[in-house]
Structure 1
Amino acid sequence: MIDEETARDQVVSTADRLFYAHGVQAVGMDAVRTEAGVSLKRIYALFPSKDDLVLAVLRHRAEQWDTGVARALAAARTPRDRMLAVFDFLAEWFRQDDFRGCAFINFFGELAGGSSRVAEAVREQKTSFQRHVADLVREAGGPGYLAPQLALLAEGAQTTAAITGDPATAAHARAAAETLIGAACPAT
């Protein structure tokens, strides 16, 4: 028998893959059980409801997002490059074979009307990202109004790339971000 942490990780990673590929409502707990190799009884001991599992998947996705953005930021050399790093991360992500857009946006569209907990988790992640972009703009000496503009570009790029299937969307959003940064921070 696998330990609790391993079972939890298996269930979350399986649910993440299935929910992201097919949608939360289209995937039953039996499918998660079968794919994860963890009994339904054990799954419900770990996650008393499907909402609890969805929230665990969103926490997992937030960790992946934060790690990916941090990796892109680590490669950036200048404050200007740090503001653009999120678009470099998006460019890499959009080229992945399993890219289906932002899980937070997808889950919000599918579940927010019926789950205030999911809606709140999505809002938290989006607010956290906006704060992060605001910190990058502030570190670069940019004006406050630039941060929401850059965040909107990143969010819009995710949605557009998911709908069109065009990974070049990240490059277009990056070019727009460069224009905004150049206008707002000519000295950077």
Structure 2
Amino acid sequence: MSTKREDLLITAERLFYAHGFHAIGLKAIVQEAGVALMTLYNHFASKEELILEILNRREQAYFDLLKKVIDEETGTVQEKLTYAHLLWLKNSASNGCMFLRAKEEFSSEPNHSIVTRVNSHKENLIHFIQTYGLARIEALKLSLFFEGSTSMAETTDIKEVEEVLMSLVDCIEVS
């Protein structure tokens, strides 16, 4: 991947996450990234394509972290997934869920590709959890716990969120 493309993706993700998707224009991204507007268009046909690529990368980074923790840590699958999610909250999600923020901004167009991508991400998480032996209903419970903890981490001390979330994990059973 070209360095300029990577710079654009990193810059756009940071700006979108901090300020929102509609609030940040492509000119602000290229100015901050130190590249020409034409460079952006050489890599992305539209702002929508750029946003979709950022969402794809963010999902992959999240799933990579979940997998890494599952492979390297001890404990039940539910505990390891929860621990990984808490790591994500502490290191990469201080401003809430980027996917839900995207859905909120594009919700006036329910068939918009970004809304569709957000919906698929949420379903992908449930399927990902299921691959580790949890039934769909248990994976959905864990996903709901993660969503709630992400929301609460924006307004509540992360240590308190961690304590409550870890206590809820005992409610999840592997089939």
- Shared fold per TM-score greater than 0.5: yes
Q: Which residue pairs with 1:159 in the alignment? A: 151
Residue 32 of structure 1 aligns to which amino acid in structure 2?
A: I
TM-score scaled to structure 1, two decimals?
0.82
Q: Which residue pairs with 1:93 in the alignment? A: 88
CA 1:6–1:97: 2 relative to 1, 3 Å: closer
Q: Which residue pairs with 2:45 in the alignment? A: 48
Q: Does 1:38 align with 2:27?
A: no
CA RMSD of aligned residues (A): 2.1
Of structures 1 and 2, the larger Rg is shown by: 1
Identity of aligned residues (%): 25
Where do 4+ consecutive residues of structure 1 move more than 6 Å?
none
Structure 1 CA distance for aligned equivalents of residues 92 and 146 of structure 2: 20
Q: What are the residue-to-residue correspondences of 1:12-161 with 2, within 5 Å? A: 12-78=9-75, 81-96=76-91, 99-114=94-109, 116-138=112-134, 144-161=136-153
CA 1:144–1:34: 2 relative to 1, 3 Å: closer
Structure 1 CA distance for aligned equivalents of residues 55 and 92 of structure 2: 20
Structure 2 CA distance for aligned equivalents of residues 102 and 137 of structure 1: 25
After superposition, give the CA deviation of every residue in 1:129-175 in whole Å (9 maximum; x if it has no partner): 1011122234xxxx54322111111111112212x142131331221
Which ranges of structure 1 fall in alignment gaps of 5 or more residues?
none
Aligned length: 173
